[in-house]
Amino acid sequence: MMITSGITALLLAVPCLAASLADLTQPDSVDATSGRARPPRPTTAPRTGNYIKATVRKEQVAITNNATSSSNATTTTTATALARRWGRLPLSLYESGIVYLMDGKSDRHVPGQTVEVVVDTASYELYVNPDCARAANPAFCAGAGRYDARGSGTAENLTTRFGVSFGSGGYAGTYFCDTLTLGDDSWPVANQQFGVATASAYVWAGMIGLGYGEGYNTQYPALLDRLVEDEYISQRVFSVGLGGASGVNSDIIFGGVDYHKFEGWMEPVEIWPSPAEQMQQFGQVGYWVNLTSLGHTRPGQSSTEQLTPAGFTRMMLLDTGSTFSYMDAEIVAALGQQFEATLDEQQGIYYVSCSYLNGTEEDDDDEGSGHVHFGFNQGGVVIDVKYEDFIVDLGGRCALGVQSADVGATSWVLGDTFIRGAYMVFDQYYDAVWLANYRPCGGEAVADLGKDPGEQLWTEIYGGCD
């Protein structure tokens, strides 16, 4: 993400809040595909067209300033409306965590202001300029870039206040409009509304929320809405491939899918409860899906041990902003036993041997690596996460990638320790998340997702290199 000034000549002076997403006819849901056979494997390459690719960088960030983490978020008093981020803090509260940052690629032709932001599927707005003195890592915060409205000819101060809080952290400030540029090719999005913080706690970078926007969580077109409105892409869909633990080639593709990052068909997993029901029940919408099984295979073995009973189902939030996943305490304990983990009761963290990170480099098909298996749609798709993607390196010490959730529906999270094993299409048109195992076969092959992305993913887009 880059916030620039100096490209006014290209822009129309539309008022920031006036634009509204044109009504899109939406299919009933991904149910439309159930009971419907998949066609034979396609023999022609899918079409290519419009999409925006944004490279994502993996970063390990240590907590160096714990004075802020337990103090009150500064946010609550000043905001006219207080939003709440789903799920967990974007960093674990202990020592350090791993986050994925959208890389602000500087463009030599535009004197832009580059701002790095955490990629977050569990929130829905863009926030910049945290208070670095109160950040969990002030040095990282200082290097992540700042937005200067006064240095931009296109900035508009909307003067309305915002606040967002998540547990011990949050941002508060004033909404602005300005031209953002997005993706590796720096596509401009004019008059995008976003929050410029004047106070914050804990957070050490900006954040870009990729959740449901206008009509659900926001009163104005969020960035994804604007990409459709500005006809960069056809529907509100984006693909996420964070890649393995090494994090090479992590990217987000707005309006497209890279079919060299998975094999075979992708499976649609319905967002449940539906966005409309979530609005009624929770007052906001997140990417919640039902997990239907969790299993485990030890390194060098082929038999899988199921850790969940038959008929198991648990709604889980897909959250790229969370270093860890969070599940039922008994399941986490059972998994901890498999890894001979030591539980730190105070922090709720399961420490494991860092040798699990070594991987099986010499073993191309990863047969030798242990796996944790996440099942959806009653076995319709199972994501096999390799040990080295599942274990979190906290810098010298290693932790199991899942921790026990607090009681309460909003705390079951599939964070990065799951997401690294998957290739995913977040589909706000069919209200589904399409899943496949992350299996890069070399190079990049991006298909454009058009007016009916579900139909394309069901019948035309088949992953693999041959």
Ligand X SMILES: *[C@@H]1O[C@H](CO)[C@@H](O)[C@H](O)[C@H]1NC(C)=O
Give whichever of 31 and 107 is closer to ligand X, judged by the CB atom: 31
| Distance separating alpha carbons of residues 119 and 285, to the nearest angstrom | 17
Residue 347 contacts ligand X per CB under 6 A:
no
Residue 246 contacts ligand X per CB under 6 A:
no
CB of 92 to ligand X, least distance (A): 14
Give whichever of 379 and 442 is closer to ligand X, judged by the CB atom: 379
Residue 281 contacts ligand X per CB under 6 A:
no
Taking CB positions, which residue lies at the least distance from ligand X? Answer: 355
Residue tagged active-site, from 103, 319, 389, 427: 319
Three-state SS at 291: strand
CB of 315 to ligand X, least distance (A): 6
Give whichever of 265 and 376 is closer to ligand X, judged by the CB atom: 376
Query: Measuring CA to CA, which residue among 187, 191, 190, 193 is closest to residue 255?
Result: 187
State yes or no: is 319 an active-site residue. Answer: yes
CB of 185 to ligand X, least distance (A): 29
| Distance separating alpha carbons of residues 258 and 435, to the nearest angstrom | 13
Residue 312 contacts ligand X per CB under 6 A:
no
CA atoms within 13 A on the CB side of 459: 10
Q: Which amino acid is at 358?
A: N
Question: Degrees (nearest 5) of the Cα angle 318, 319, 325?
Answer: 85
Contacts 24+ apart (CB under 8 A), 43-47: 45/445, 45/447, 46/259, 46/447, 46/448, 46/456, 46/460, 46/461, 47/447, 47/448, 47/450
- Beta strand 187-201 with 126-128 is parallel
Residue tagged active-site, from 103, 120, 131, 431: 120
Residue 159 contacts ligand X per CB under 6 A:
yes
Report yes or no: 207 and 90 within 8 Å, Cβ to Cβ: yes
* Touching ligand X, residues 316-335 (CB under 6 A): none
User: Who contacts 338 (Cβ-Cβ below 8 Å, separation ≥6)?
Assistant: 296, 298, 305
User: Who contacts 302 (Cβ-Cβ below 8 Å, separation ≥6)?
Assistant: none
Question: Residue 249: is it exposed, middle or buried by C-beta count within 10 angstroms (0-12/13-18/19+)?
Answer: middle
Among 309, 345, 355, 395, interactor with ligand X by CB under 6 A: 355
Among 14, 358, 363, 367, interactor with ligand X by CB under 6 A: 358
Give whichever of 249 and 290 is closer to ligand X, judged by the CB atom: 290
Give whichever of 429 and 438 is closer to ligand X, judged by the CB atom: 429
CB of 424 to ligand X, least distance (A): 17
Give whichever of 187 and 272 is closer to ligand X, judged by the CB atom: 272
Report yes or no: 125 and 209 within 8 Å, Cβ to Cβ: yes
Give whichever of 156 and 455 is closer to ligand X, judged by the CB atom: 156
Residue 280 contacts ligand X per CB under 6 A:
no
Residue 80 contacts ligand X per CB under 6 A:
no
Residue 25 contacts ligand X per CB under 6 A:
no
* Touching ligand X, residues 166-225 (CB under 6 A): 174
Give the count of residues interacting with ligand X (CB under 6 A): 14
Adjacency order of strands within the sheet including 349-352: 342-344, 349-352, 398-399, 392-393
* Touching ligand X, residues 115-134 (CB under 6 A): none
CB of 149 to ligand X, least distance (A): 5
Three-state SS at 419: helix
Residue 106 contacts ligand X per CB under 6 A:
no
What is the x/- site pattern for ligand X, positions 44-73, by CB under 6 A? --------------------x-x----xx-
Encoding tokens for residue 174? Answer: 């004033």
Residue 157 contacts ligand X per CB under 6 A:
yes
Among 216, 272, 312, 351, interactor with ligand X by CB under 6 A: 272
Give whichever of 172 and 446 is closer to ligand X, judged by the CB atom: 172
Question: Degrees (nearest 5) of the Cα angle 88, 93, 95?
Answer: 140
| Distance separating alpha carbons of residues 374 and 465, to the nearest angstrom | 25
Among 48, 219, 313, 342, interactor with ligand X by CB under 6 A: 313
Q: How many helices (H) and strands (E) does the chain have?
A: 7, 30
C-alpha distances out from residue 236 to 104, 283, 288, 374, 427, Å? 22, 21, 17, 26, 7
Give whichever of 20 and 358 is closer to ligand X, judged by the CB atom: 358
Among 270, 328, 388, 389, interactor with ligand X by CB under 6 A: 270
State yes or no: is 365 an active-site residue. Answer: no
Among 50, 168, 249, 290, interactor with ligand X by CB under 6 A: 290
Length of the chain equals 466
Q: Return residues touching ligand X (CB under 6 A).
A: 64, 66, 71-72, 149, 157, 159, 174, 270, 272, 290, 313, 355, 358
Residues serving a catalytic function are 120, 319
